[in-house]
Amino acid sequence: MSRPVALVTGARRGIGRAACVALAEKGYDLLGCDLVEDGFAETAAAVVAAGGRFAWRLCDVADLDDVQRMVAWAWDEWGGLEALVNNAGVGAMQRGDLLEMSRESWDRCMDINARAPFFCSQEVARRMLAADAPQRGPRGLVFVSSANAVMVSADRTEYSASKTAVSMVARCFAVRLAEDGIPVYDIRPGVIRTDMTAPVTAKYEARIAAGLSPIRRWGEADDVGRAIAALVSGALPFSTGDAFHVDGGLHLHRL
């Protein structure tokens, strides 16, 4: 095998599926994990149509023992990994007053959005740094955070806090792995049309039309997937630890 291999968490739909397809178009074979099976057949078909191979496994990233097993499987499946895309994530269990937020919602966001990417990356990085690790292409780690890494949404404080946390995790890994030639990137999507944003479609339709972001349209999963693939495949070899906003300019301060 000469094609590099990437592991994508949360790969069965949305941004995860888009990242898989974009990476396949860049010459990667893909391994995916997610909590449930629904959607994997569609992801597999899209990856194959883009020229790559695809294999998947169920994994609950909130369970760190399951994460260990999943990474071991991914590493062994096709003889190593060149890239990891930490995409799996959840929103707040319920938007509302932070004074009413539950401990369960806080823990869920932190466990899945911040803790899981750290330990998944730790498992992958340890293997990449082994003397006998294969390298069939550029190496890289990507953390999918959010515009909420820097923008406040007080009605989902737990989500915002978890995305700020994982953004810092990305920078820490960037510093640790730079001398080993493994760049690390933080992708910050804005308002993206996915299943996660479906319940608030009407709200964001109105806000986008009113100028929420300078580019007045929904972001699409493909917008994020293409950004991930460009970074992973070595488009910016003298960059690491940087946060890339894929948000139509949402993050820009305006008068």
- We report the CATH number of the domain holding residue 10 as 3.40.50.720
Whether residue 204 is contained in a domain is answered as: no
Whether residue 210 is contained in a domain is answered as: no
Lowest mean pLDDT among 71-75, 131-135, 141-145, 171-175: 131-135
Whether residue 87 is contained in a domain is answered as: yes
pLDDT of residue 198: 86
pLDDT in tens, 37-65: 999 999 999 999 999 999 999 999 999 99
**Distance in angstroms (rounded) separating the CA atoms of residues 47 and 54:** 6
Whether residue 203 is contained in a domain is answered as: no
Whether residue 186 is contained in a domain is answered as: yes
Q: Find the mean pLDDT for residues 208-220.
A: 96
- Is it the case that residue 1 has pLDDT exceeding 80? no
pLDDT of residue 117: 98
pLDDT of residue 37: 97
Whole-angstrom Cα Rg for the chain: 17
**89 band by pLDDT with thresholds 50, 70 and 90:** very high
Mean pLDDT computed over every residue of the chain: 97
pLDDT of residue 227: 98
pLDDT of residue 38: 96
Whether residue 198 is contained in a domain is answered as: no
Q: Are 247 and 188 in contact (CB under 8 A)?
A: yes
pLDDT of residue 171: 98
pLDDT of residue 199: 86
Q: What is the DSSP string of 49-66?
A: HTT--EEEEE--TTSHHH
Residue 25 tokens, joined:
């178009």
Q: Find the mean pLDDT for residues 67-80.
A: 98
Number of alpha carbons in the 13 Å side-chain half-sphere of residue 90? 20
Percent of the chain past pLDDT 70, that is, above it, reads 100
Whether residue 90 is contained in a domain is answered as: yes
* CA neighbor of 23 nearest in space, from 186, 160, 137, 190: 137
- The parent domain of residue 25 ranges over 5-191+219-245
pLDDT of residue 197: 87
**211 band by pLDDT with thresholds 50, 70 and 90:** very high
pLDDT of residue 255: 87
Provide the domain count of the chain: 1
**221 band by pLDDT with thresholds 50, 70 and 90:** very high
Q: Are 112 and 62 in contact (CB under 8 A)?
A: yes
**175 band by pLDDT with thresholds 50, 70 and 90:** very high
Percent of the chain past pLDDT 90, that is, above it, reads 96
**Distance in angstroms (rounded) separating the CA atoms of residues 2 and 135:** 9
**196 band by pLDDT with thresholds 50, 70 and 90:** confident
> Which amino acid, one-letter code, is at 183?
P
Sheet with 83-86: strands ordered across: 54-58, 29-34, 5-9, 83-86, 140-144, 184-189, 243-246
**200 band by pLDDT with thresholds 50, 70 and 90:** confident
Q: Are 156 and 92 in contact (CB under 8 A)?
A: yes
pLDDT of residue 195: 86
pLDDT in tens, 226-249: 999 999 999 999 999 999 999 999
